[in-house]
Amino acid sequence: MITVTHRQNCTVMSFSGELNSVTAPEADAAIAAVCKEGCMALIFDFAALTYLSSAGLRSILIGAKNMRERGGRFAVANAGEKIQRVFQLSGLARHFASFASIDEAEASFTGEEPAR
């Protein structure tokens, strides 16, 4: 399930459950819709994401690419240990920044200190 939250300076898409070959098409559609609205700062919140496979990695990379091509900012936040391991094993972590919280991710977009 994906929830979209609009903050003052960014949009957060919170993914819960699994991002795999079954759920990736729905995720791709939701990401495309958010980008089509003109979002210029996007954070994927993975606090409730329990499983990620290469299909899910593809969704992340396509989101990152879409944002970059439009001059926008993109980051991932709250990825758990198993998810981070998939990022590292894939060697694709260099294509997106990953933060321990949404606040830190948002602060990275503006270069400010995260709110405390």
Applying CB under 8 A, the residues found at the interface with other proteins are 20-22, 51, 53-55, 57-58, 61-62, 64-65, 82, 86, 89-92, 95
Cβ at position 50, least distance to other proteins in Å:
9
- As given in the structure block, the two tokens for residue 8 are 């003052």
Cβ at position 77, least distance to other proteins in Å:
21
Nearer to other proteins, 6 or 85 (CB): 85
Nearer to other proteins, 53 or 101 (CB): 53
User: What totals of helices (H) and strands (E) does the chain contain, helices first?
Assistant: 4, 5
Nearer to other proteins, 88 or 110 (CB): 88
What does 52-107 look like in DSSP terms, one character per residue? Answer: E-HHHHHHHHHHHHHHHHTT-EEEEE---HHHHHHHHHHT-GGGSEEESSHHHHHH
